[in-house]
Amino acid sequence: MITQAELKDLVEYVDGQLVAKTNSKQRKVGKVLGTLTPKGYLKASVHGKVQRIHRLVFLYFHGYFPLQIDHIDGNRTNNRIQNLREATSAQNNQNRKAIGASKIKGVYWHKQSKKWVATICIRRKNIHLGSFEKIEDAALVATKARKELHGEFARGTT
């Protein structure tokens, strides 16, 4: 496994990117490291091991690899150190983008009742926050609960 010192000998951090300081078979001095993965992350091979760039940036500044790293803005290619934070799996999920027809995190349409339902997930359990005639009311309740319970990891309405 690469150390912080070894990484700093090989690359320089420039505005969210790692730039080669030495020549190798794979890259020349001045080349920006990273190719896009199918899941939207940037990756590079360092010392024969493929690593995601955001993990290398975190190592560059903090000296260790955490179990998980969260991209605060949800953009997997934004690897500026200000956009990266250590997170648990639950915290990383709390900061995920909304999915589903409503496009509002924690809100979905319930066909049988013909109402918008607000929910939140706590410790792997979905908690029902209420059923509403208007999507705006469900969104308000879901957003308030996320801010209270997920804190800094609560993503906005999307």
Q: pLDDT tens digits for 115-124?
A: 999 998 887 7
Residues 77 and 124 in one domain: no
Residues 46 and 82 in one domain: yes
3-state secondary structure of 37: coil
CATH of the domain at 11: 3.90.75.20
Residues 142 and 81 in one domain: no
Q: How many domains does the chain divide into?
A: 2
Residue 158 has pLDDT above 80, yes or no: no
Which phi and psi (to 5°) does residue 17 adopt?
Answer: -120, 155
Nearest Cα neighbor of 139 from 117, 111, 113 is: 117
Mean pLDDT along residues 54-65? 98
* Residue 79 burial by Cβ neighbours in a 10 Å radius (0-12, 13-18, 19+): buried
CATH of the domain at 134: 3.30.730.10
pLDDT at 156: 59
Last residue of a domain, which of 87, 116, 141? 87
Reported confidence tier of residue 49, pLDDT bands at 50, 70, 90: very high
Tell me what the pLDDT averaged over the chain comes to: 90
| Residues of the domain holding 148 | 96-153
Please tell me the distance from the alpha carbon of residue 16 to that of residue 86, in angstroms, as a whole number: 16
Residues 74 and 146 in one domain: no
The answer to whether the beta carbons of residues 155 and 116 sit under 8 Å apart is no
Last residue of a domain, which of 42, 70, 87? 87
Residues 83 and 54 in one domain: yes
In a domain, 79, yes or no: yes
Residues 53 and 113 in one domain: no
CA neighbours closer than 13 Å in the CB half-sphere of residue 86: 9
pLDDT at 1: 86
Residue 90 has pLDDT above 60, yes or no: yes
Residues 72 and 100 in one domain: no
